[in-house]
Structures are given as C-alpha cells and as structure tokens.
Amino acid sequence: GAVVSQHPSWVICKSGTSVKIECRSLDFQATTMFWYRQFPKQSLMLMATSNEGSKATYEQGVEKDKFLINHASLTLSTLTVTSAHPEDSSFYICSARGGAGGYNEQFFGPGTRLTVL
Amino acid sequence: DAKTTQPPSMDCAEGRAANLPCNHSTISGNEYVYWYRQIHSQGPQYIIHGLKNNETNEMASLIITEDRKSSTLILPHATLRDTAVYYCIVRVDPALTGGGNKLTFGTGTQLKVEL
C-alpha cells in the first residue's frame, strides 16, 4: 500500500512560537492531502483539504491564518501552526490521496504530537 | 454522507473472532461502507470496504446485510495487536468523486483484545 510519512513525530514548543509539520507521500504522487486534528479521547476532526498548487480549503471553525497549509509539490504538504498556544496541543495527522492513475483512497501518516508549553 | 452508529467499546479474547457491528440505516445506494482502525497514538489504517457484497481480505471480513442498513467487521482470530479504535464510515465511492470527498470519523468502537 501507499506510504505517508510525517515529520516530526513529536514536538514541544513554547507558547507564541510557530511549528511546521511536514507530510510526505513516499511512493505515490498525492494530488490531495488532508489535515486532521485529534484531541485526547476524541475522534479525528478534518481541518483542511489541500490540492497541489492551489489554496487549501478549511473546515468551518478552523482559522486559516493560524494553520497555514502549503502543498507546493505532489509529494509534500506542510502545516504551520503559527503563534502556537497550549490549546493547540493536539495530535495532528495528515492523509494523502493520489490523482489519475493513482490511489483514490486516503492513506494516513503516523501523526505528529504537538505540545505547547 | 450517511451517519453511522457503533457501540463505544467491546472486549474480545485473544484467538477468538471479534465481530464489530455498525448501523447505517440512512445509507444511500451509491455509498460504500469503509472500515478504518486507529491504534493508540498512530494514524488510522485502512481495513476494508464494500458496497453490498461481503468482502474479505488478509485483515478482515466485511458482512453487509441485504438491506445495507448495517454491517459487521469480523477479525477472525483477534490478537493483542488488534486492540484499537475501529471506525465505520459510509461514503460515496471516491472513484466517482475523484477521491475528494471527506472521510468523516465518528467516535468508533474501542476494541480491547485480552489474554
């Protein structure tokens, strides 16, 4: 199956700093990538959908200026949490989907644990 | 996408079959039933999906009732490593939508496999 990686797997940062999380599709070209957030003991919540080369589409209630998403290539999307605060501490998970001739299913990365002090 | 209902938790003895039910009474004709699982602190893992026929792969079997209003995921010989939250999701075939439609995760079933 398709492999999706995330980096870093965990990060601790101070309040007010920005954190960048990378999501890579390792063996396929991902025309669409999805970013999810999961708080403890809760389910995954979709934050945004990004298509390569275009602006991300954010779900209702997700601040686009706080969670910057860049999908500049077919194998890489980044999520930057700007001016992070303790309430942003969460498990961030990306998934990727291939385009024509590729996969129509979503394949998930292993997640990134963000802790904001 | 149709809403699903799953029991919040289930226990299963190692080596026995784990049968996880899912109700999706409002499913539409072009909607598939998907199952994912999430082991603690990991990303979700695709298990299986089906439309109306029963499906089997190396991980599990999916039994869908004739009226398609419910389904059961079967792990034939559960192991401790199958302890996870199992999500039943109903969605339109991504091949029809270019894969862009969302995966909406409910609360799932926490399966605990014990010795």
pLDDT top residue among A102 and B70: B70
| Count of C-beta atoms within a 10 Å radius of residue B83 | 19
Residue A10: closest CA among chain B residues belongs to which residue?
A: B41
Is the CB of residue B33 less than 8 Å from the CB of residue B25?
A: no
Of A6, A46, A104, the CB nearest to B94: A104
Relative to beta strand A90-98, strand B61-64 is: unpaired
The two tokens of residue A87 are 């309430």
Q: Would you give per-residue pLDDT tens digits along chain B (115 residues)?
A: 668 999 999 999 999 999 999 999 999 988 999 999 999 999 999 999 999 989 999 999 999 999 999 999 999 999 999 999 999 999 887 666 665 567 889 999 999 999 9
Task: Write the pLDDT tens digit of every residue in A21-36.
Answer: 999 999 888 888 999 9
| pLDDT reported for residue B2 | 66
- Cis ω for the linkage preceding A8 (within 30 of 0): yes
Q: Which amino acid is at A12?
A: I
DSSP letter for each residue of B36-68? EEE-TTS--EEEEEESSS-EE-SS-EEEE-TTS
DSSP reduced 3-state for A61:
coil
- Residues in A 85-114 with any Cβ partner in B closer than 8 A: 91, 93, 95, 97-99, 103-111, 113
Q: What is the pLDDT of residue B94?
A: 67
Q: How confident is the model at residue A51 (pLDDT cuts 50, 70, 90)?
A: confident
Residue A97 — pLDDT band, cuts 50, 70, 90? confident
Which candidate, A32, A29, A6, places its Cα nearest to that of A110? A6
User: Which of A43, A54, A91, A93 is the best substitution to test chain B (most B C-beta atoms within 10 A)?
Assistant: A43
Q: Give pLDDT, residue B71.
A: 97
Q: Are B92 and B101 in contact (CB under 8 A)?
A: yes
In the prediction, which pLDDT does A53 show?
81
From chain A, the residues in CB contact with B94 under 8 A are: 97, 104-106
What pLDDT was estimated at residue A1? 64
Neighbours of A74 (CB within 10 A): 18
pLDDT of res. B98: 60
User: Which of B5, B49, B89, B105 is most worth mutating to test chain A (most A CB atoms within 10 A of its CB)?
Assistant: B105
B19 and B77 in contact (C-beta within 8 Å)?
no
Cβ atoms < 10 Å from Cβ of A89:
17
